[in-house]
Amino acid sequence: MTTVGVLALQGDVREHAAAASALGAQVTLVRHPSELDAVDAMILPGGESTTIDKLLRAFDLRDPLMDRIREGMPVLGSCAGMILLATDLVDGIEGQHTLEAIPMTVRRNAFGRQVDSSEVDLTWLPDGSPMQATFIRAPWVESYGDDVEVLATAVAADGVEHAVAVQYGTCLATAFHPEISDEPRVHQRLLDLI
């Protein structure tokens, strides 16, 4: 059976665990490097990216996680997880680290503050179907490398269309929260990468 790890340091841990479990995966909550060793794929939940970054380092998970991702372990990052997977940040906190997994520049809190949270209708570009997405203090992708596939875009308050879901090899990232919208396609895509 496929085992999906959910980084359980802070954020939407329960919701992601339920989404992966609903698709038939066995779920392990990951707080220590030994737990990371036992998973086939990893989910980095939404939450507070600076807090998750600090906790990754405090729990000695950052380097082992980066190693597993470099080795090809599939990973999904939503919202704060997208920020963690980026190579570069705009509006990051001084000293904030990322996992440098996807060649992209991400703007933290690009969609605004908590009060600006919203549900948006998107097009899931892989099949052209509609998708409802929940944005909560969400980032967006400012720029990305040539090999990054854009899976969804959204027009933001600045009137510009930005990438809000991307894939690079076995790394997926969404600015929105598929675990909240009861939207299985993003988690299924992660499972399909295993």
Q: In whole angstroms, how far apart are CA 149 and each of 40, 99, 121, 137?
A: 22, 19, 20, 23
Judge whether 43 and 7 are in contact, CB under 8 Å.
yes
Rounded CA separation 106/103 (Å): 10
CB-count burial class (<10 Å; 0-12, 13-18, 19+) for 100: middle
State yes or no: is 179 an active-site residue: yes
Residue from 15, 16, 79, 162 carrying the catalytic annotation: 79
Give Cβ neighbours of residue 147 (< 8 Å, ≥ 6 apart).
103, 168, 169
| Active-site choice (171, 177, 183, 187) | 177
Per the annotation, the verdict on 171 as an active-site residue is: no
- Catalytic option among 15, 16, 171, 179: 179
Q: Which residues are catalytic?
A: 79, 177, 179
